[in-house]
Amino acid sequence: MKKLILLVATLLMTLTGNGQKRMIQPGQKLIITKDSITAGDYLTIANTKYKLRDYYGAIADYAKVIELDSKNVDAYYYSGLAKVNLHNYVGAIVDYTKVIEINPKSANTYYNRGNAKHELHDYTGAIADFTKAIEINPKLRNAYYNRGISKMSIGHKNSGCQDFRRAGEMGDAEAYELIKKFCQ
Amino acid identity at 149: I
Q: Do domains 1-24+36-104 and 117-184 have the same CATH topology?
A: yes
Closest CA to 111 of 149, 59, 160: 149
Q: Determine phi and psi for 89, rounding to 5 degrees.
A: -70, -35
Amino acid identity at 23: M
pTM, 2 dp: 0.83
Q: Determine phi and psi for 95, rounding to 5 degrees.
A: -65, -45
Entry field: residues in the chain = 184
- What are the extents of the domains in the chain? 1-24+36-104, 117-184
CA–chain centroid gap for 114, Å, is: 12
Q: Which fold has domain 1-24+36-104?
A: 1.25.40
pLDDT of residue 7: 41
Tell me how far apart the alpha carbons of residues 157 and 182 are, in angstroms, rounded to a whole number. Answer: 8
Q: What is the CATH number of domain 117-184?
A: 1.25.40.10
From first to last of its 184 residues, what are the pLDDT tens digits of the chain? 334 333 444 444 444 444 455 555 666 654 556 667 999 999 999 999 999 999 999 999 999 999 999 999 999 999 999 999 999 999 999 999 999 999 999 999 999 999 999 999 999 999 999 999 999 999 999 999 999 999 999 999 999 999 999 999 999 999 999 999 999 8
Closest CA to 146 of 170, 130, 161, 166: 130
